[in-house]
Amino acid sequence: MKILAIAKGLLVVLSASQLAAANPEIKLKPTAADEELLDGIATSLFQNIKNGKTEIAVNQFFASSSLMKSRTAQLQLLVSQLDGAQQIYGRLGECQEIERTTVGSIVQYRGYVCQHDNFISRWNLAFFKTTTGWIGANLAFKDQPAVPE
């Protein structure tokens, strides 16, 4: 995206990143449509897991990632780990977003804490906007919820 700026009476054409670099108060961020799309991906992930559709959840999360399409063994391992966690901690319940870190307008990390019948888990989702659109880039979970510093 090119942005027109007037500097000392001259019309200058800058990319959004050049403009942000020249003016640190300008913070690049995903658009409202981008945020809505990422909200939908995260919501779908958790809803499918809650409904016992872990494989669908994982496949949909990584569906736009050309790198993950060929990694069927890793995806299947992730599915078995997620199912195993639910056998230990109980079914997934409510998930709450506890942090969101955006790097420019093309990278976003989200942290969640989720209830289970017997415990709480911490989830980290990473989204990257490639030249072809947003992808689910990383999905990680652990049984150590955020600890206050």
Residue-wise pLDDT tens digits, 11-38:
555 555 555 555 555 578 999 999 999 9
Quick one: pLDDT at residue 23? 58
Residues, the chain, total? 149
> Within a 10 A sphere around the Cβ of 135, how many other Cβ atoms?
20
pTM (predicted TM-score):
0.79
Q: How confident is the model at residue 90 (pLDDT cuts 50, 70, 90)?
A: very high
| 96-108 average pLDDT score | 95
Query: In this structure, are residues 46 and 121 in contact, taking their beta carbons and an 8 Å threshold?
Result: no
The residue written with tokens 């990680």 in the block is 140
The residue with tokens 């409904």 is 51
Among 15-24, 37-46, 81-90, the range scoring the smallest mean pLDDT is 15-24
Average pLDDT (71-89) is 94
Amino acid 61 reads: F
Instruction: Please answer whether residues 149 and 136 qualify as being in contact, where contact means their C-beta atoms are separated by less than 8 angstroms.
Output: no
Integer Cα distance of 49 and 86 in angstroms: 9
Measured distance CA(134)–CA(31) in Å, rounded: 12
